[in-house]
Copies of this chain bind each other. A is one copy, B any other.
Amino acid sequence: MNKFDFYNPTHIVFGKDRIGDLAKLVPSTGKVLILVGGSSAEKTGTLGQVREALGSRSHGTFTGIEPNPSFETCMKAVQMIREQGFNFLLAVGGGSVIDATKFIAAAVPFEGDAWDIMLKRGGNVQSALPFGVVLTLPATGSEMNSGGVITRKDIGAKLPFRSSLLYPKFSILDPTKTYTLPAKQLANGVVDAFVHTVEQYLTYPANAPVQDRFAEGLLQTLVEVGPKIMAATEPSYDDRANLMWTATLALNGLIGTGVPQDWSTHMIGHELTAKYDIDHARTLAIVLPAMLHERREQKREKLLQYGQRVWGIQSGSDDERISAAIEATRSFFESLGIPTRLSAYGVGSEAIDALIEQLQAHGMTKLGEHGDITPEVCRRVLVAAH
Contacts and interface: CB of A to CB of B under 8 A. Distances in A.
Interface of A: 1-16, 18, 207-210, 212-214, 216-218, 220-221, 224-225, 238, 241-242, 245-246, 249, 254, 257-258
A383 to B, nearest CB: 37
B238 A207 contact: yes
A245 B8 CA distance: 16
A216 B213 contact: yes
A249 B5 contact: no
Given A11-B6, A238-B1, A210 B246 contact: yes
Given A216-B213, A224-B209, A5 B1 contact: no
Contacts of A2: 15
The main secondary structure of chain A at its interface with chain B is mixed
A3 B21 CA distance: 13
A254 B8 CA distance: 12
A259 to B, nearest CB: 11
Contacts of A12: 4-7, 257
A14 to B, nearest CB: 5
B1 A242 contact: yes
Contacts of A14: 1, 3-6, 257-258
Copies of the chain in the assembly: 2
A18 B1 contact: no
A218 B210 contact: yes
* Residue of A1, A12, A213, A218 with highest tally of chain B CB at under 10 A: A1
Nearest to A144: B6
A77 B74 CA distance: 52
Nearest to A241: B1
A25 to B, nearest CB: 10
Ranked nearest first, the 5 interchain pairs of A and B with the lowest CB-CB distance are A3-B15, A213-B217, A9-B9, A7-B11, A6-B12
A10 B6 CA distance: 8
Contacts of A242: 1, 207-210
B4 A15 contact: yes
B3 A18 contact: yes
Nearest to A21: B5
A49 to B, nearest CB: 16
A7 to B, nearest CB: 4
A249 B220 CA distance: 20
A303 to B, nearest CB: 20
Contact of A220 (B11, B209, B218): B209
A128 B7 CA distance: 20
